[in-house]
Structure 1
Amino acid sequence: MNGADAQSPVIVVGAGLAGLTCALDLVRAGLPVRVLEAADEVGGRVRTDRRDGFLLDRGFQVFNTSYPQVKRRIELARLRLRPFTPGVLIHTAEGGRLRFTDPTRRPSDALALLTGKQDRGPGQGPGPLALAALGPLCALDLLAPPRLLKRLPELTTREELARWRVPDRVVDGFLRPFLAGVFLEDDLDTSSRMFHLTWRSMLRGTLTLPADGMGAVPRQLAEDLPPGCVERASPVAALSAAGVTFADGSAADARAVVVATDAAAARSLVPGLPAVATRTVTTYHHAATRSPLREPTLLLDARRRILNTCVLTEVAPTYSADGRALISTSVLGTDAPGREAALREVLAELYATGTRDWERVGSTTVAGALPAMVPPWPLSRTGRTASGVYVCGDHRATGSVQGAMASGTRTARELLADLRRP
C-alpha cells in the first residue's frame, strides 16, 4: 500500500483478461478503480483485428468452455460460440491423414482410428493397443479433482507420458504435434502438472470460437465494468510512491497499484520482479475463394513444420464478410523473409490443394505469447511483491485464459485483504 488518500482509486495497469478480472472483483467490493490501457482497445494479447472484411485474432486462439473462471464470469450466450469438431486431423509422416477424436463424442471416428483406417493416403493408425495406453491417463484427468492433479509429481510432459507408458507412436504421431500448438513448444518440456490440467480441460470442455472473434471475451468483461472505468490509450511509463506516471509526464494518485501487463512490461515497471521465459508465435492468415477443408477441424503436421492450421470460416463463418475462406496457420518464432513462401508449400501438401492464389491477409507475431512453463512451475503465485505493488497475469499462474483470470481473481482477493487490515 502507498500513502495515497483512502478515497483514491486502485489503479490497474493493463486491460487484458487478468487486469479486467481483477478490476471487476475490486469494483464489486465497492472500491473505485481506474483501468489504464496503453492500447486503443482492451484484451492485451487476446485481441481481434478487422482487416479487409476478415476477423483476425492475434495468434491462433480458442475458447474452452470448461474453464472454471469462464463458467463463473462469462455469459456464453453473448459470445455466440461456434465449436470445433471434437478431434484433430494429423498429416502423417507418410503423407496420409489420420483422424484422432474423442470416442465419447464421435464413436464412429474412434472406430476408424482403432482399426487403422486413414482419412486419406498411405499408412496405418497407431492401433488399439497403443491407444489403450491413453485410457488410464484420460480417466485420471477426466475424473480426478484439480487439487489432486496439482499435487502429482512434477516432471516434463514427455517424462510423464513415458511414466504412463504411452507408446512413442502415439506421443510423436498425435500428442506431440497437438500439444505443440497448446504450449508453443515441440519438445514436450512443459510441466506435467500443467499438461494434466490442460488435458482435463480438453476432455471436459468444448473448443470454440466466439462469432465476433476472441476479442469478444475481454470486451464482455470490460462492458461489465462501470462506464469510464477503462481508459484506453493511457500508457503508464513508471510507478511512483503515490501512484503512476504516464508517458506524457503527468501523474495519478492511487490507493494501490496492480500491474496486469505481460511479463516483460511488468518487469520493466516493477524492479526486482523475476524474469519469466516466454514463447513466441507467428500466425499467418490467408484468404481463398474455396475452403481447402470443409469441416471445422484443426489440421496438424506430424513432421512439426507448423504448429497447426485451420479454416476459421468453417468454425465461424462470421470471420469473413464476403464468403471467402479464411485460413489460419501458426508457427513457432518470428516472421522472416521467405518464411511465408515456404509455408505455402507446406500448406499445399497438408491441404492437398494449390495455394499460390491464396491472398495473404496478414501475419501477426506475438512475442511472449505464453510463459515457458517448464518444471518447476508454480501453478499459482501471489500477487503481492516486495515493493507493495501487486502483479497479476498468466505469467503468475498458467498460460491460458483460465490462468490469466485466476491470477486476477487471486490478486484482487489479496489486495482486499490487505486493505481491511488495521
Structure 2
Amino acid sequence: MATETVDGFRLDAGNHLVNAAFPEMLRTPGLGGLRLRPFAPGVLVRGVGRNYRVGDPRRPREAFSAARAPIGTPLDKARLGAALARLAAVPATRLLGRPETTIAEALCARGFSPRMVEGYLRPLLAALLSDPDLSTSSRCADLVLRGFARGRLCVPEGGPGAVPELMAEALPPGIVHVGERVTSVSTTEVTTAEHGSTSCRAVVVATDAHSAADLLPGLHLPRFHPVTTLHHAAGTPPLREPALVLAADRGGPVAYTMVASEIDPGCAPPGRALVSTTVLGDPSRFSPHEAGLDKLVRHHLCDLYGTDTAEWELLGVHHDPEAVPAMPAPHHIRRPVRLLGGLYVCGDHRDTGTTQGALHSGRRAAHHVLRDLGIRTEYGTSRDTLKAA
C-alpha cells in the first residue's frame, strides 16, 4: 500500500478499497488514528446504455425493492436484498463451512438471473475482488460480500500509504530500516545485500508472494489478478459526489472509476479534481502501448461520466501484474504462517487477497512468534485469533 505525490496530487498505486467493517482495521496497533473517507452508500452503475444507482446494501428494501435500476425482476431484487441481509448476519466461520464452488456457479445456483449478475453483481464483485471472470472461491466471495453488506467502502485519508506509515509510527523509534535488500533468511539469521548478516531469534517474511517464495523455496505461489490504475487531473469534477462508478457494459477497458478528490479532498490541489480509474486483467489486450490504453480509457470515461475528457491530464499509470492473489475454488483460506519454530511468513497470499486478509495473516504470524518465544499476550489462543476473522 503506497502513495505517490505528483504535482500536488496524491496517487494511489493500486486503488485500494477498504471496508469500515474490516475487523483488523480496528484491531491493528497504530491504526486507531487512521481516518477512513467513505464512499456514498451503494454504487453508480453504467449498463444497458444508461446510468443507474443501486442503494445502500444495509437497507435492502431501500436499495432494491424501490430501485428503478434495470438489473432484474422484482423477485431478483428481493432475493439479492435477502441474501445480503443473511450474509451480514452470518458469522464468518459458518461461511467458511459452506460448500465451495466458483462464485459464478454459486450465483447461478442461488437463482440470480443473468441480468442481475451482469448488471450488478459481476461489476461489483470485479471491483471488490479484481476478478471480472468470477472464478474466485464462493467462500472468499461471500466473505467479501459480507463485509460489503456490513460496512461502507472507504479509502484511507491521505492515501493507502498512510496505513503502513501509521503502523511504523506505533513501533519504537529507530527500529525500522528501509531500502535494504534481503538475500536470505533462516530461523536465526537474516542476510542483506547492504549490511551482511544479522543474528535473531525469529524471522517473519512479510512480503509479496513472489519475494516470499524467492526467500523460502517451496512456498505456495498463487496465480494473480493484474490491476492497472490510471490517474487523470481534471479542471472540474465530472461527478460531484463520493461515488464508486461501476462499468457493467463491457464495451471498454474500465472496470470501475471514482472522482478521488470528492472522496478525499486532500488528494488534489485546490481547484483541481483527481479521477482514478481501474483496468482489470492484462491491459495489453486493449492496447500494447500506454498512450493507446489512455485513449481508450478516456473514451470509456467520457461515456461513464457523460463529459468530455479530451483536456484531462494523465498524471500516472500504475500497472501491477501481481496485484491481487487469485483465490480460485478450492481455496485454502488459512495457509499456515508458521513454517517451523523461528520462521514465519504472512501476507495476503496466506489468507484472503484483501487488506483484511493481509493484516489478519500478520496477526496470526505474530501470535505464533510470541507463543514460540514463550510470551503471553492479551490476544488469546490461536483458535481465538482464527475466530476473529
Q: Does 1:331 align with 2:279?
A: yes
Task: Determine the structure 2 residue equivalent to 1:417.
Answer: 371
Q: Distance in 2 between matches of 1:357 and 1:244?
A: 51
Equivalent residue for 1:404?
Answer: 358
C-alpha separation between the residues in 1 aligned to 2:187 and 2:151?
A: 44
* SS at structure 2 position matched to 1:307: strand
**How many Å separate the matches in 1 of 2:345 and 2:58?**
40
* Paired amino acid for 1:190: T
Structure with higher RCO (Cα < 8 A, 6+ apart): 1
Q: Which residue of 2 aligns with 1:321?
A: 269
Aligned to 2:28: 73
Q: CA deviation at 1:367?
A: 2.8
Residue 418 of structure 1 deviates from its aligned partner by 2.2
After superposition, where does 1:330-369 map in structure 2 within 5 Å? Answer: 330-332=278-280, 333-334=282-283, 336-337=288-289, 338-369=292-323
Tell me the equivalent position of 2:84.
138
What is the correspondence of 1:9-408 to structure 2 with a 5 Å cutoff? 46-73=1-28, 78-93=33-48, 95-102=49-56, 104-105=58-59, 110=64, 112-113=66-67, 116=68, 124-240=70-186, 242-248=188-194, 250-304=196-250, 305-332=253-280, 333-334=282-283, 336-337=288-289, 338-385=292-339, 389-408=343-362
Structure 2 SS opposite 1:133: helix
Once the two structures are TM-superposed, the CA of residue 325 in structure 1 deviates from its matched residue by: 0.8
User: Following the alignment from structure 2 to structure 1, what is the Cα–Cα distance between the partners of residues 220 and 59?
Assistant: 43
Question: 1:195 & 1:239 partners in 2: Cα distance?
Answer: 34
Identity percentage over the alignment? 43
Read off the aligned partner of 2:81 and give its amino acid letter. Answer: G
Distance 1:234 1:322, change over 3 A: same
Counterpart amino acid of residue 81 in structure 1: L
Aligned equivalents of 1:390, 1:108: Cα separation in 2:
47
User: What is the TM-score of this pair, normalised by structure 1?
Assistant: 0.82
What is the CA distance between 1:303 and its match in structure 2?
Answer: 2.1
- 1:410, CA displacement in angstroms? 0.7
Preserved contact between residue 124 and residue 246 of structure 2 (Cα < 8 Å) = yes
Secondary structure of the residue aligned to 1:60 is coil
Sort the Cα spacing of 1:375 and 1:108 in 2 relative to 1 into closer, same or farther, 3 A: closer
Aligned-residue CA RMSD (Å): 2.1
Deviation at 1:198? Answer: 0.7
AA paired with 1:138?
A: L
Conserved 8 A contact 1:239-1:245: yes
Q: CA deviation at 1:206?
A: 1.4
In structure 2, what is the equivalent of residue 4 of structure 1?
A: none
TM-aligned CA distance change 1:412 to 1:241, over 3 Å = closer
Range with bigger deviation, 390-399 or 301-310: 301-310
SS state at 2:369 partner? helix
Displacement, 1:243?
0.8
For residues 187 and 355 of structure 2, what CA distance do their matches in structure 1 show?
32
The whole-number CA distance in structure 1 between the counterparts of 2:97 and 2:62 is 36
Please report how far the alpha carbon of residue 259 of structure 1 lies from its aligned counterpart in structure 2 after TM superposition: 0.6
Amino acid at match of 1:363: V
Q: How many residues in Structure 1 have an aligned counterpart in Structure 2?
A: 367
Distance 2:85 2:26 in 1: 22
**Residues 262, 99 of structure 1: CA spacing in aligned structure 2 closer, same or farther, 3 A cutoff?**
same
Shift of the 108–383 alpha-carbon distance from structure 1 to 2, 3 Å rule, reads closer
Flag structure 2 segments of 5+ consecutive residues without an equivalent.
376-389
Query: What is the distance in 1 between the residues matched to 2:339 and 2:33?
Result: 36
**1:85 partner amino acid:** A
Give the aligned residue type for 1:172. E
Deviations 1:112-134 (A, max 9, x none): 51xx3x6xxxxx44242221121
- The answer as to whether partners of 1:286 and 1:361 remain within 8 angstroms in 2 is yes
Runs (5+) with no aligned partner, structure 1: 1-45, 119-123
